[in-house]
Amino acid sequence: MGFSGVDAVVFGVADMAEAQRFCDDWGLHQLHVDADRAVYETRDGGEVILRPKDAPDLPPAIEPGNTLREVIWGAPDAGALKDSLDRLSAAGALVPGPDGLPRAHDPNGLRLAFRVSRRRSVKVTPTPANAPGNPARIDRRSPVHERAEPIKLGHIVLFAADFAAMRAFYVDTMGFIVSDEYPGHGVFLRCRRRGEHHNLFILNRPGKPGVNHVAFTLTDVHEVIGGGIAMAKKGWKTEIGPGRHPISSAYFWYFHNPLGPPLEYYADDDYCTEAWQAQEWTRKPELFAEWAIAGGIDGTTRRQIVAVDNSGRGHA
């Protein structure tokens, strides 16, 4: 069965207090905070861990500045974890970790750790949609969310210094499955045959490893919009969004933040099974976003902020 998803992410940051303020506003639940370590969780128990960027026990950063320093992948049970670790061991990728967790480094140099997942099962009910002749929401209004409360760590997007090596590592050694692909340029990967469209997306950027963004799953588009407006109202700047991805179908909103790479709210992505047909696509901006608002929405006026899209999200 392999891995089930992202269990935790560890960031190295310059300003712990500002990073904590962002996580509080983002809707994460605070578990533990001290000068050297702050731990937050999503609704299902996925962890966001903040550390000072110069903490001596952090692995080296794969890019300058505040950034993601480690990804912890979860397996659904001990048997699945053993199978995955056996695959990694056979490839010569495993190294012992200081805290007892088995670890590896991907071809970018990003440190990975592995454990039986600590995430809890969470069932949510999205707002039903009404269509002519097929009403699903009767005698009730759609909600207006005052803030978001992320359900889980949905996916991570990495820039690959060596795209072929990264693709081979995550498909052949980690056992991930291709959901869709820009041949030679990008690949969407999911951990399981049955699951969300992607847990990892790798983008080709020769010679420059890095983190494109980390994404958090919300209930539906109403929570994406309400959560995004709440973040704007608190003064956090939009990178791009709201908008909609035609590949994966998800609604999104990306924000700049003191953790480093952009963080994304998203909802309503495709769910894949064994019957899903992976496709090959030509890399172009309109396949990143069917539509998107540059600059976001003002938190006070709740109207579009006029801006030019300099985000680079279009993968051009």
| Domain at 49, CATH number | 3.10.180.10
Beta-bridge mates of residue 200: 156, 189
Confidence of residue 312 (pLDDT cuts 50, 70, 90): low
pLDDT value of position 284: 87
Mean pLDDT of the chain: 95
pLDDT value of position 313: 59
Q: Does residue 23 carry a pLDDT above 50?
A: yes
| Pair of tokens at residue 209 | 């490893």
What is the C-alpha separation between 252 and 267, in angstroms, rounded? 7
Confidence of residue 232 (pLDDT cuts 50, 70, 90): very high
Is residue 157 located within the same domain as residue 288?
yes
28 in any annotated domain? yes
Please provide the DSSP assignment of 241-271 as one string: EEEE-SSS--EEEEE--TTSS-EEEEE---E
54 in any annotated domain? yes
Compute the average pLDDT of residues 265-291. Answer: 95
pLDDT value of position 279: 97
Is residue 281 located within the same domain as residue 179?
yes
Is residue 167 located within the same domain as residue 59?
no
49-103: per-residue pLDDT in tens?
Answer: 999 999 999 999 999 999 999 999 999 999 999 999 999 999 999 998 878 899 9
147-171: per-residue pLDDT in tens?
Answer: 999 999 999 999 999 999 999 999 9
Please provide the DSSP assignment of 264-289 as one string: EEEE---EE-TT---EE----HHHH-
pLDDT value of position 305: 87
DSSP 304: B
Is residue 78 located within the same domain as residue 180?
no
pLDDT value of position 315: 46
Least confident of 63-67, 214-218, 220-224, 307-311: 307-311
Compute the average pLDDT of residues 20-26. Answer: 98
Q: Print the domain residue range for 196.
A: 152-292
175-193: per-residue pLDDT in tens?
Answer: 999 999 999 999 999 999 9
247-248-249-254 Cα dihedral, nearest 10 degrees = -90
Compute the average pLDDT of residues 23-34. Answer: 97
What is the C-alpha separation between 50 and 27, in angstroms, rounded? 15
Is residue 58 located within the same domain as residue 188?
no
Is residue 168 located within the same domain as residue 272?
yes
pLDDT value of position 280: 97
Compute the average pLDDT of residues 38-55. Answer: 98
pLDDT value of position 301: 92
The residues, any chain, with a CB within 8 Å of residue 171's CB and separated by 6 or more, are 177, 178, 187, 189
pLDDT value of position 102: 95
What is the C-alpha separation between 158 and 86, in angstroms, rounded? 25
Q: Does residue 128 carry a pLDDT above 80?
A: yes
190-204: per-residue pLDDT in tens?
Answer: 999 999 999 999 999
The residues, any chain, with a CB within 8 Å of residue 232's CB and separated by 6 or more, are 238, 296, 297, 298, 299
Compute the average pLDDT of residues 126-155. Answer: 97
Q: What's the pTM?
A: 0.95
- Given its phi and psi angles, is residue 27 left (phi above 0), alpha (psi -120 to 50 degrees) or beta? left
Q: Does residue 314 carry a pLDDT above 70?
A: no
Q: Does residue 316 carry a pLDDT above 60?
A: no
223 in any annotated domain? yes
3-state secondary structure of 313: coil
What is the C-alpha separation between 187 and 84, in angstroms, rounded? 21
299 in any annotated domain? no
Domains identified in the chain, total number: 2
